[in-house]
């Protein structure tokens, strides 16, 4: 039963890690920042996880495993609650870092505890059950969290994750014995494995794989909304992605056993690259009514190919360092989150740069009422500015989409578009 609570904790952590992609537009609008800036919530979380997980695992190596899990989940829950009540972006960013540190300490500890509480013949199944929490989160938790966030506000999703974490924490406190053995590697042992040339090459490949996928995944909801996807459509897209990822994870392991790790990894990366290229072309060129079904198909192909790579990559790393398999797998997880962090940063800077979703402002309003300079420094303020300035006549300085409603005359004001 203890393994079930560990899997529930992994489910909450997996939901938190990936659901943010479907909530970025709502968060950006609520805290009055660009979507690119909101995307740095992904970068901060992933970077804190990548760096903090191995350091915290070593720092808490001599502590009781039950207490470490309780501390880790408490930090994770507290981070979600801080996000619920965060009034602005800085505190929201800090809450994501706190969540990541809790998650980064919890997951490796949970895997070690699963091995410790299971009998020798059941250890592999115990580890598989814990890691399945992440898989189920991509299929169920992320679409559900996205739908809840769109229906009740993005803060409600963090409440949901906090409740899941609290249930897992209660189950572990009542069901997990004290005095479990620790098998955490020291920092020196981790560095010794990381210095292996073949391991470094494999870890670099993992970083590039994660970077490529998360550069797109982090901001996927933005182009989907431009195609006319509503909240249920975006949740459906994430459900397709999660389901395909789960299938790809199982398929990748099977193919790696039958055909080898290198061919499977190469096939997965090639399929993922092709799907992302075609997805980009579709988002830019296809008509919205036709693009909807093509996008879903390409998202499915992207996820099943991309996540077929991951188990083959893990098997490859284990073969390189069979005597330090757990260390190698832990380093690979940190590399994956480092790639997620770089992907979130690259997507925000490249595809959704700070100037991309903000109107270019002129120097002054022709009537000099001051309203333009006061409120038009963010996309949400542009429409309000035009509404306020209709009473003052013509003005200039805004590059903006159509904002006039059907029941209001357009002749009350005129726009000079700035290029």
Q: What is the pLDDT of residues 58-115, one digit of tens each?
A: 888 888 888 899 999 999 999 999 999 999 999 999 999 999 999 999 988 888 888 7
| Mean pLDDT calculated for residue range 301-316 | 89
More confident: 404 or 146: 146
Range of weakest confidence among 5-14, 54-63, 189-198, 409-418: 409-418
Residue 330: is its pLDDT beyond 90?
Answer: no
| 180 in Cβ contact with 69 (< 8 Å) | no
| 144 in Cβ contact with 239 (< 8 Å) | no
Q: For residue 63, which of 15, 113, 18, 26 has the smallest C-alpha distance?
A: 113
Q: What is the largest CA-CA distance in the chain?
A: 80
Tell me, what DSSP letter sits at residue 195?
T
Q: For residue 317, which of 224, 141, 194, 412 has the smallest C-alpha distance?
A: 194
Q: What is the pLDDT of residue 2?
A: 77
Half-sphere exposure of 73 (CA within 13 A, CB side): 29
Q: How far apart are CA 302 and CA 308, in angstroms?
A: 10
With tokens 């004290």, the residue in question is 178
Cβ neighbour number for residue 259 with a 10 Å cutoff: 12
- Cα radius of gyration rounded to whole Å, the chain: 24
Question: What pLDDT, in 10s, does the model give residues 332-381?
Answer: 888 889 999 998 888 877 554 444 444 333 333 443 444 343 333 334 44
More confident: 417 or 21: 21
Mean pLDDT of the chain, nearest integer: 79
| Number of residues written out for the chain | 419
Q: What is the pLDDT of residue 183?
A: 63
Q: How confident is the model at residue 394 (pLDDT cuts 50, 70, 90)?
A: very low
Sequence-ordered list of residues with C-beta below 8 angstroms from that of 317, at least 6 positions apart, any chain? 199, 202, 203, 328, 329, 331, 332
H-type helices in 286-357, by residue range? 288-320, 325-350
CA distances from 94 to 82, 234, 331 (A): 9, 27, 25
């Amino acid at each position: 039963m203890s393994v079930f609570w560990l899997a529930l904790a992994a489910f909450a952590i997996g939901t938190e890690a990936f659901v943010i992609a479907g909530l970025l537009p709502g968060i950006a609008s609520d805290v009055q920042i660009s979507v690119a800036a909101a995307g740095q919530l992904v970068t901060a979380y992933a970077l804190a996880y990548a760096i903090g997980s191995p350091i915290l695992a070593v720092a808490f190596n001599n502590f009781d495993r039950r207490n470490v899990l309780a501390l880790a989940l408490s930090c994770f829950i507290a981070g979600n609650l801080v996000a619920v009540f965060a009034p602005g972006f800085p505190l929201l960013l800090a809450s994501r870092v706190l969540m990541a540190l809790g998650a980064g300490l919890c997951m490796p500890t949970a895997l070690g505890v699963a091995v410790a509480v299971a009998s020798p013949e059941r250890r592999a199944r115990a580890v598989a059950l814990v890691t399945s929490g992440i898989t189920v989160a991509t299929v169920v938790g992320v679409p559900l969290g996205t739908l809840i966030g769109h229906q009740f506000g993005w803060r409600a999703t963090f409440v949901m994750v906090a409740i899941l974490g609290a249930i897992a924490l209660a189950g572990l406190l009542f069901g997990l014995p004290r005095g479990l053995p620790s098998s955490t590697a020291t920092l020196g042992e981790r560095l010794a494995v990381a210095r292996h040339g073949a391991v470094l090459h494999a870890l670099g490949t993992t970083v590039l794989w994660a970077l490529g996928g998360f550069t797109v995944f982090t901001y996927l909801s933005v182009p989907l909304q431009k195609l006319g996807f509503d909240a249920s459509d975006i949740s459906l897209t994430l459900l397709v992605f999660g389901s395909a990822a789960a299938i790809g994870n199982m398929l990748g392991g099977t193919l790696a056993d039958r055909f080898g790790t290198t061919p499977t990894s190469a096939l997965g990366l090639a399929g993922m690259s092709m799907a992302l290229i075609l997805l980009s072309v579709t988002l830019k060129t296809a008509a919205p009514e036709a693009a909807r079904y093509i996008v879903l198909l390409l998202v499915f192909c992207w996820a099943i190919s991309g996540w077929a790579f991951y188990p083959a990559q893990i098997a490859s790393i284990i073969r390189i360092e069979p005597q330090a398999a757990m260390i190698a797998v832990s380093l690979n997880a940190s590399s994956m989150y480092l790639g997620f962090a770089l992907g979130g940063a690259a997507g925000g800077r490249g595809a959704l740069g700070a100037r991309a979703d903000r109107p270019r402002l002129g120097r002054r309003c022709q009537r000099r009422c001051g309203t333009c300079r006061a409120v038009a420094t963010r996309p949400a303020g542009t429409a309000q500015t035009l509404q306020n300035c209709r009473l003052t006549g013509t003005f200039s300085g805004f590059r903006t989409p159509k904002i006039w409603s059907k029941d209001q005359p357009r002749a009350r004001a005129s726009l000079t578009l700035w290029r």
